């Protein structure tokens, strides 16, 4: 499916983001949106050739350095992207010449960023240029870039320069010292070291030229080693440039430069690396994908948010964590907040538990920094930094310097007062233990985090003898609009919860691992008196709560603050704090983000105090209208979506969900240029699973109690819980008063536990797509009637050509027709051959009246039936002669493409076992206009890198033959003459067909016409 994005020139398919127009005004935000990565590093979506005022950046986990006196930040590493193309003396860049055609795509399925354009140089030379790049998920130290160059209307010199830029900046500051650089037989290399943290980096690169004779030259200009080549380009001839890069730092290996050079020398070619990357991504998506049917925008956007977290998640390093802006931008300087543990980690906890363990181990490794912070403030134990970097020491800037040169700097109090993070991290540790049963990690690492952080609360609380209650004064809660409050409900209850769990962990450790318990008692100075103190705090901490109504006061005196009606300030395009001013906001009942509601959410799963249905309804009614949900904090909407689902407010739940879902894709807060909103992305996963999926965790495993948004017909995902996978496949059943649900493999209309499977398989389609056109293209080829046709590629339809899925389509349509009570038989099915899904349904429905929603549902239902049927296909389903002809064509150097209107083409190809024989796929996702429009075949030819006149289409449908002829291609028709007689050659089937015979027939036809 395809849907258009709002005002961003975006089209969304199930797996691919397509940008149809370049807008310089959105340069920086799009650089964020098109970030790629592999869990070791992230690279922003900047252009390989450069652009004025661009912000290219590659961030590597853990590579931090100091800007003296001011702050610590994640370092922008040497830029591996530069690839300059000079066409007959004109340097290619999008701010020069003329852009005749442009498209950029991010393929989530395989972590692949692609860009294709047609550019006319200032001198009038027209050239097609395409770029493709990925950060290998199979090997985190490998980066790859490929460029195709095809002159359209000229012959001349093209120069290519591939470089490593050793002068990257963090918005004006260069963190790197020059050490060394050089060249080898394989290419070039660069050695750098950070100025203060003394982290060494080694990067190496090599270049391969395909499609022409070319030699390489090396230029080792200081800090900018470059490989270059110049060749004579011919019109319509494609030259491919492949740039492979390796990178290491001294964080993971003692000698980064030799490691980078050695790995570079051992690398296979680009295609092999790409295949390994695809396989690695396939494994990740098998565990982490969410399938949504009935909402095409959500289908893609949910996957997009998951993708951005997956590429930022450390797989092989437990000394780093995910920054608030992931590895995608300069915002918050790469610092780690509570965002990671509370918002991002649940995705990994339930789909990639090893990554969840890494994220928490980072907090264990940085306990010394947390202890130093506690000591600085004269507290006991560990006081976790509000913003953390590599050591765990506090790195929150003390002051915020505004853009007004004469304005006053703003004190950032979070570093001193926002202490709820000290319970948020233990909350995540406890949940990891509950979900995994990982006793080994808990006794080695988790218990120390919980106990040491609990010691802080014991020294931070104050006993009020008049009230006979413990208080926590002078804090900032989850709602940061109120910067100096006493007895914040969120902070006090989380501290109480933390101490309850610390006592439980203490007892468990003493019982199960007495030696470790003794070790921690001595190390942390834990005493029986301290444990008793914790119990006293738990029993006597102050919490403002009305048991008769369930209403919770956010902090002491909150109800006496001035009430603000947010509706009076609409419309607006900024948060309430700059509108009201800091002082008035502090004195008003307006919230930056949910605070009491956030507390209820965190207590929701275990139904711990104060969570219950009455309290949720009461506090929602009070606090939701007072929350600046549009421009306050991006952390709020996803949480409110979940709670609104709990309350049955489906419209409001979906509205808040979409606000969170599109925060970066639509840049609805205007700050996507700073980086991905990582917490919001994590909240999206929780909103889908815990909100709409209604997942509840029980001793026997997760159970679904779903409330899908209107229009969602299916929600499919899997969760890992205590060593086992649980599959959930939730369907909305029509005709029920309140709807019924099918879960896992259970009967419809029931609410049951997900299917238990240690190695469960998801059954969703994962297309392996190349660059796809979003709009209709026109033929750019010459006539297909040259005397001696220069055939370079074959484009095969699938159904009726390579395999017979027509029977499966018929069975799926027949099942649908039977369910709808519509007459349908095999004779009627003949009219559907080669016709799109929608057009086929229209033929079946005839003059019967159905709404658009019903039509969409029936198309999805038929496709579901068809997908279920094709799961059983194998290579035995190939038609006679198909595999022999494919092999013969490949041996002859002929490129193979698939041109099928089916959106399940990729799945069919994989089931048939011919994926390694296919060079390009054009399917139902690739173009908007179906056959008999020529778009699908033109698209396939473009992907093969050949002209229409060099293409042969093999089809079994009249519409397909018509499309091939309209594209200016040769057409071979399979089947009766009355159906495919317009083709140049008509055959009964592919059985016994040889390429030499076909070539001779095409040549004879060409000669007769001339």
Strand-pairing partners, residue 695, are 704
Task: Specify the residue for token string 């089947």.
Answer: 975
Task: Specify the residue for token string 């993708």.
Answer: 307
Burial label for 1004, CB within 10 Å (0-12, 13-18, 19+), is: exposed
What one-character DSSP code corresponds to residue 79? Answer: B
CB contact at 8 A, 60 and 174: no
Where does 805-899 have alpha helices with state H?
A: 806-820, 826-829, 837-845, 852-870, 882-891
* Calpha distance 48→162 (Å, rounded): 9
Main-chain dihedrals φ then ψ at residue 11, nearest 5 degrees: -125, 135
CB contact at 8 A, 665 and 286: no
- CA 448 vs. chain centroid, Å, equals 33
Token pair recorded at residue 460: 């931070």
Look at residue 241 and give its three-state secondary structure.
strand
* Calpha distance 488→781 (Å, rounded): 70
How distant, in Å, are the alpha carbons of 374, 388, 401, 479, 581 from that of 398? 17, 14, 10, 19, 20
* Calpha distance 687→643 (Å, rounded): 9
* Calpha distance 856→848 (Å, rounded): 15
* Calpha distance 812→868 (Å, rounded): 9
* Calpha distance 638→344 (Å, rounded): 12
Query: Which of 49, 103, 480, 483 is flagged as catalytic?
Result: 480
- CA 104 vs. chain centroid, Å, equals 16
Token pair recorded at residue 933: 């429009």
How distant, in Å, are the alpha carbons of 451, 868, 875, 883, 956 from that of 879? 66, 21, 9, 8, 13
Task: Specify the residue for token string 């909240």.
Answer: 683
Strand order in the sheet with 714-721: 291-293, 714-721, 724-731, 755-757
Interacting residues of 760 by C-beta distance below 8 A, sequence separation 6+:
718, 725, 726, 727
Main-chain dihedrals φ then ψ at residue 609, nearest 5 degrees: -55, 135
**Would you call the peptide bond into 640 cis, given omega within 30 degrees of 0 as the criterion?**
no
* Calpha distance 670→573 (Å, rounded): 9
Examine the residue annotation and report whether 556 is marked as an active-site residue of this protein. no
CB contact at 8 A, 861 and 873: no
> Can you state the angle between helices 447-460 and 353-365, rounded to 10 degrees?
50
Helix H or strand E encompassing 292:
strand 291-293
584 CB-side CA count, 13 A: 8
* Calpha distance 60→192 (Å, rounded): 14
Token pair recorded at residue 507: 């007892």
Interacting residues of 320 by C-beta distance below 8 A, sequence separation 6+:
61, 62, 314, 358, 362, 390
3-state secondary structure 392-406: CCCCCCCEECCCCCC
How distant, in Å, are the alpha carbons of 149, 365, 611 from that of 371? 57, 12, 32
What one-character DSSP code corresponds to residue 328? Answer: S
How distant, in Å, are the alpha carbons of 794, 909, 973, 988 from that of 995? 11, 22, 15, 16
Strand-pairing partners, residue 163, are 226
Task: Write out the catalytic residue numbers.
Answer: 480
């Amino acid at each position: 499916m395809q849907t258009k994005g709002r005002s961003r020139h975006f089209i969304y398919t199930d797996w691919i983001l397509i940008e149809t127009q370049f807008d310089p005004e959105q340069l920086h935000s799009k650089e964020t949106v098109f970030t790629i990565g592999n869990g070791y590093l992230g690279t922003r979506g900047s252009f390989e050739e450069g652009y004025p005022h661009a912000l290219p950046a590659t961030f590597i986990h853990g590579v931090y350095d100091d800007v003296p006196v001011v702050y610590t930040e994640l370092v922008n590493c040497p830029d591996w992207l530069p690839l300059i193309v000079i066409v007959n003396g004109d340097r290619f860049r999008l701010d020069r010449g003329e852009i005749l055609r442009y498209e950029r795509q991010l393929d989530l399925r395989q972590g692949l960023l692609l860009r294709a354009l047609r550019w006319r140089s200032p001198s009038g030379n027209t050239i097609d240029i395409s770029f493709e790049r990925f950060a290998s998920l199979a090997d985190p130290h490998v980066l790859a870039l490929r460029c195709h160059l095809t002159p359209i209307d000229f012959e001349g010199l093209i120069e290519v320069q591939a470089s490593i830029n050793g002068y990257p900046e963090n918005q004006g500051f260069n963190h790197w010292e020059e050490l060394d650089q050089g060249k080898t037989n394989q290419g070039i290399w660069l050695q750098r070291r950070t100025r203060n943290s003394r982290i060494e980096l080694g990067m190496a690169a090599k270049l391969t030229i395909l499609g022409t004779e070319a030699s390489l030259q090396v230029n080792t200009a200081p800090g900018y080693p470059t490989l270059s080549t110049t060749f004579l380009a011919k019109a319509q001839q494609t030259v491919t440039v492949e740039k492979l890069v390796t990178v290491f730092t001294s964080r993971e290996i003692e000698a980064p430069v030799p490691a980078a050079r050695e790995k570079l020398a051992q690398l296979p070619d680009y295609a092999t690396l790409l295949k390994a990357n695809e396989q690695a991504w396939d494994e990740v998506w098998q565990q982490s994908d969410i399938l949504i049917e009935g909402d095409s925008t959500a289908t893609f956007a949910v996957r997009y948010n998951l993708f951005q977290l997956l590429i930022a998640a450390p797989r092989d390093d437990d000394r780093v964590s995910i920054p608030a802006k992931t590895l995608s931008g300069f915002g918050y300087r790469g610092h780690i907040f509570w965002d990671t543990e509370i918002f991002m980690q649940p995705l990994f906890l339930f789909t990639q538990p090893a990554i969840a363990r890494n994220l928490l181990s980072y907090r264990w490794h940085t306990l010394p920094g947390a202890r130093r912070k506690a000591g600085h403030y004269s507290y006991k134990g560990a006081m976790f930094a509000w913003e953390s970097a590599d050591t765990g020491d506090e790195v929150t800037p003390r002051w915020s310097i505004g853009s007004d040169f004469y304005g006053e700097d703003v004190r950032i109090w979070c570093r001193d007062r926002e202490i709820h993070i000290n319970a948020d991290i233990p909350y995540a540790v406890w949940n990891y233990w509950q979900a995994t049963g990982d006793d080994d990690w808990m006794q080695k690492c988790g218990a120390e985090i919980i106990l040491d952080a609990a010691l802080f609360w014991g020294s931070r609380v104050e006993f009020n003898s008049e009230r006979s209650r413990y208080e926590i004064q002078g804090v900032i809660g989850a709602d940061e609009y109120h910067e100096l409050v006493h007895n914040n409900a969120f902070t006090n209850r989380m501290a109480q919860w933390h101490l309850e769990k610390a006592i439980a962990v203490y007892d468990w450790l003493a019982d199960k691992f007495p030696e470790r318990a003794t070790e921690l008692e001595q190390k942390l100075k834990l005493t029986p008196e301290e444990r008793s103190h914790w119990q006293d705090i738990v029993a006597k901490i102050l919490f403002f709560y009305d048991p008769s109504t369930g209403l919770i006061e956010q902090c002491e005196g909150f109800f006496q603050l001035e009430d603000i009606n947010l509706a009076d300030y609409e419309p607006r395009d900024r948060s309430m704090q700059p509108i009201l001013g800091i002082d008035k906001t502090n004195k008003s009942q307006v919230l930056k983000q949910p605070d009491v509601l956030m507390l209820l959410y965190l207590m929701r799963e275990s139904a711990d105090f104060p969570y219950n249905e009455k309290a949720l309804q009461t506090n929602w009614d009070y606090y939701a209208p007072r929350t600046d949900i549009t421009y306050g904090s991006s952390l709020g909407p996803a949480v409110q979506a979940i709670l609104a689902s709990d309350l049955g407010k489906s419209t409001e739940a979906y509205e808040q969900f979409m606000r969170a879902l599109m925060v970066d894709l639509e840049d609805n807060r205007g700050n996507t240029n700073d980086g991905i909103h990582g917490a919001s992305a994590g909240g999206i996963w929780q909103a889908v699973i815990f909100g709409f999926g209604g997942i509840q965790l029980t001793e026997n495993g997760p159970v679904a109690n779903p409330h899908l948004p209107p229009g969602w017909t299916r929600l499919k995902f899997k969760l890992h819980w205590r060593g086992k996978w649980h599959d959930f496949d939730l369907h909305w059943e029509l005709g029920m008063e309140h709807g019924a649900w099918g879960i896992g493999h259970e009967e419809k209309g029931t609410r049951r536990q997900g299917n238990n499977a240690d190695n469960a398989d998801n059954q969703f389609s994962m297309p392996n797509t190349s660059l796809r056109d979003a709009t209709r293209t026109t033929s750019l080829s010459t006539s297909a009637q040259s005397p001696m046709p220069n055939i370079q590629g074959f484009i095969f339809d699938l159904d009726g050509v390579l395999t017979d899925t027509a029977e499966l389509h018929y069975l799926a349509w027949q099942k649908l027709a039977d369910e709808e009570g519509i007459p349908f038989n095999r004779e009627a099915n003949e009219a559907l051959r080669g016709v799109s899904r929608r057009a086929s349904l229209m033929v079946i429905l005839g003059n019967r009246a159905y709404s658009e929603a019903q039509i969409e549902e029936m198309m999805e239902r038929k496709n579901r039936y068809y997908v279920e049927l094709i799961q059983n296909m194998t290579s035995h389903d190939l038609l006679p002669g198909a595999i022999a002809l494919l092999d013969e064509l490949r041996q002859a150097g002929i490129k193979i493409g698939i041109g099928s209107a089916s959106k399940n083409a990729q799945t069919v190809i994989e089931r048939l076992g011919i994926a390694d024989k296919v060079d390009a796929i054009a399917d139902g996702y690739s173009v908007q206009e179906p056959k008999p429009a020529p778009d699908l075949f033109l698209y396939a030819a473009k992907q093969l890198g050949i002209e229409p006149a060099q293409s042969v289409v093999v089809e079994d449908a009249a519409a397909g033959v018509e499309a091939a002829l309209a594209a200016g291609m040769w057409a071979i028709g399979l089947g009766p003459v009355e159906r495919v007689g317009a083709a140049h050659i008509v055959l009964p089937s592919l059985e016994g067909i040889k390429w030499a015979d076909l070539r001779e027939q095409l040549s004879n036809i060409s000669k007769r016409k001339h």
